Every structure is written in structure tokens, then in C-alpha cells.
Structure 1
Amino acid sequence: MSTSNVGRPRTFDEEAVLDRAASVFWRHGYEGASLSALTAAMGINRPSLYATFGSKEELFQRAFARYHETQVTAARAALAQPTAYTAIEAFLRASADGLTTGDHPPGCLSIQGGLACSPQNARVSEILAAGRAATEAAIEERLFRAATEGDLPAGVDTRALARFVMALSEGRAVHAAAGANREELHASVDVAMRAVMP
């Protein structure tokens, strides 16, 4: 019996494998993503999955961190625009593009991955909520800076405005998952900007 495989280093691209795992979680949610579907998509066997990632939950954490790094960064980078209005518009438009890009499932992993989980998987919902909260905090920080610079009306509630912008973004993620296309989402940004910054 050959022992040539013993101690052999893994030969897969971990980032590519995480991207494929994220796609499965994205399509099926955490609980709906079976180990068979994950290993088939990732192109690895169960022993390799457990040896590399430890557990399904740890794999999900790593896949979501990778997703957050690649998918959310572009939308958050939009907040560097020079005014609050242009920053919010750029964020919402980058989000619309990301929700419908075509190289991954439509919508948003942080919305579809595990909003409804059984009690034993509550940690998954917490991970996703923390990711969304981090983005909302970045928006609030940008709006607070705009308020201190006089770029927003005096007394504006930057926390409430940031929450509203996130609710718009998350709602459009649900619509994208249901089939709304990029043009439809961008049309909703036109309406949203009149509501957010009349």
C-alpha cells in the first residue's frame, strides 16, 4: 500500500476554494449548504476540508471574511468621495453593481447566508450581523465627519441616516436576489438620493 500521500502539502488555491465555498453558502444559506455540495464546489474531500478549515462553521467564517474583503471593500471605498451626497450615492451605486455583477450569485451573502438559523447556528447570524454593522459604522463615521465639516445640516442624526442608507442597501440586496437587474437597482438609487439628501 502506497504512503506517498502522507504528509504531502495541500495543492489547492485556498482563496479560490474559499470563493467557491462562499458561492455555495450564498446560494443555499449556511444551513442549506451541505458538506457534499461544499466539497464538490471546492474540489476537495471532507478530510481536506476539516484539516484546513476545522469545521463547517469555521469554513463559513473564513469564506465570509474573504467575501467581505473582496465584495464589500469596493462599496465602502466609495465613502471616500468628497461630500456626503456623493459618498452615499457612490456607495449605493457600487452596492448595486456588486449585487448584480454576474460572477457570483445575485444579492448579498451577508443577507442570504443565514438570517434565519436554528438556535445551534446562532453564531452564523451573529457573524453576518457583525459584518453589516461594520459597514453601517463606516457610513456613520463618514456622515459624522460631513456633519462636523458643515456638509450636512446642523442637528442631523448621522446614526439614523446611516441606518437608513444601510436599510436601502440591504433591501436592494433582497430585490437583486429575487431577480431585479442592475438598471432597476440604479433607478432605485435615483429615488433614494432624493429621499436621503433632498
Structure 2
Amino acid sequence: MSGRKQFDVDAALDRAMRVFWQLGYADASLDALGSATGLGRGSLYGTFGTKEVLFRRCLDHYSSIYGAQYEHALCAHPHDPVRAVQAFFDVTLDRIADPSVPGGCLIAQSAAQSPTLTQDSGMQVRGLLETQRRRIRTALTHTQADTATLDELATYVVAVNQSLAVLSRAGAPVAELRVVARLAATTVAHTLATAATPDVAETGFPPGTPGQ
């Protein structure tokens, strides 16, 4: 049909996303993006606009893929927040172990290169991290811990999650990363258990222990 684009825009966006994911925003040249997508500079600009606009669309594309997976993992265990956190980490670890995608995480990669981003792109990256934190915080809601503790735990889980991505880029084996995730889940479990039994937190002993 006359005027119809002769390529798959979504497929091109996915390939561009992998370039930003692998190289980072600063090193993702137009030549690299064009080579990956099969588009010349004119077609690249005509289809996606500027490099920054393309980058931001890639961030949205990435978050739609993995955000949905995180959401599903967390919602699968509505009455078991620790298992939900473990499932959350499993999404990250499975992605890290997947040889068909670049190592690490596009969001972690972009956050590390924040000084090279525009204000709008930097805000989008921070917003995606905040979305991740809110998902975790929601999964922790149905516990007896106080609000401050749950807020801190949500931030902690996001920090560990981003660390897994950074360590994977540095070459850490997936087996080691699974140990990190397991210990983080144990920390979450211990913190929630302690917060649910304030007498233990205050005295170091469960209620009714002889010698108190």
C-alpha cells in the first residue's frame, strides 16, 4: 500500500532498546542505532524523532516488558510478602541469565549514566525506579510492620535489585547473584517478623521468656 512503512516499528524499537541497554545513552551512536534497526539516519529521525525521544521510548518499551513481569510476580503472592519479594528477584535473575538479551538492566545502566542524560530523561529514569519501589511497597502492605519500616524495606529491595544488575554487568555469576537475592529476602523476612513482635525488638526475647 502506498505510504505504508515497510518495516516493523515495534521490532525496530526493540532493537534500539538493546543498543541503549548494552552501550548506554552516551555511547549509543546514531550509526549503532541505525545498524541495529536497519534504518538510515533520515528514516530513524522520521520514525522516532531525536535520539533522546527514541531513548525515552525505549525506556517505556523496556518498562512495559519487565514491569508487567514484576507486577505479575508480586501479585502472585498477595498474602506472602517474602515470597513476593523472592518472585520479584527471580524476574531479574531470569533476565540476567537470559543469553538473548544484554546483561544488567536498562534502567540501572541509565541511572548510572544520569550525568549524560537530559533533565527530562533523568526524571523518567527516576520515575521508573519509583514505580518499582511503589510496586514493592504495595506487596508489603498486608503486614503488621509500621509504615516507616515498610517504606525502608521497599527502598532496600529496589537497591538490591539494581545492585544485582550492576554486579551482573561486572561479570558476577548468576549463582552468586542468587545468593545475594536469597539473603536479601531473608533480611526482609527477619525485618517483618521483628516489626510484628515489638516485645522481641525491645528486649531481644520473645514474650514470656524466663528471666525477663
Query: Which TM-score bucket, shorter chain as reference?
Result: 0.7 to 0.9
Q: TM-score, normalised by structure 1?
A: 0.87
Structure ID, larger Rg: 2
**Secondary structure, in 3 states, of the residue corresponding to 1:113?**
helix
> What corresponds to 1:161 in structure 2?
153
> What corresponds to 1:3 in structure 2?
none
> What corresponds to 1:4 in structure 2?
none
| 2:114 is the alignment partner of 1:122 | no
Equivalent residue in structure 2 for 1:109, among 99, 106, 124: 106
**Secondary structure, in 3 states, of the residue corresponding to 1:30?**
coil
Equivalent residue in structure 2 for 1:90, among 87, 92, 114: 87
Shift of 1:51: 1.1
> What corresponds to 2:193 in structure 1?
none
Q: What runs of 5+ residues in structure 1 fail to find an aligned partner?
A: 1-6
**Secondary structure, in 3 states, of the residue corresponding to 1:31?**
coil
- How large is the RMSD of aligned CA atoms in angstroms? 1.8
Summarize deviations over 1:24-48 as a string: whole Å, max 9, x none.
Answer: 1011111111101101111111111
> What corresponds to 1:17 in structure 2?
12
**Secondary structure, in 3 states, of the residue corresponding to 1:58?**
helix
Shift of 1:154: 5.2
Q: What runs of 5+ residues in structure 2 fail to find an aligned partner?
A: 191-212
Letter of the 2:165 partner, please give it: A
Q: Is the 8 A contact 1:114 1:128 kept in 2?
A: yes
The change in CA–CA distance for 1:181 and 1:16 in structure 2 (over 3 A counts) is: farther
The change in CA–CA distance for 1:14 and 1:89 in structure 2 (over 3 A counts) is: same
Summarize deviations over 1:55-76 as a string: whole Å, max 9, x none.
Answer: 1111111111111111232123
Larger deviation, residues 30-39 vs 106-115: 106-115
How many residue pairs get aligned? The number is 187
Letter of the 2:12 partner, please give it: V
Q: TM-score, normalised by structure 2?
A: 0.81
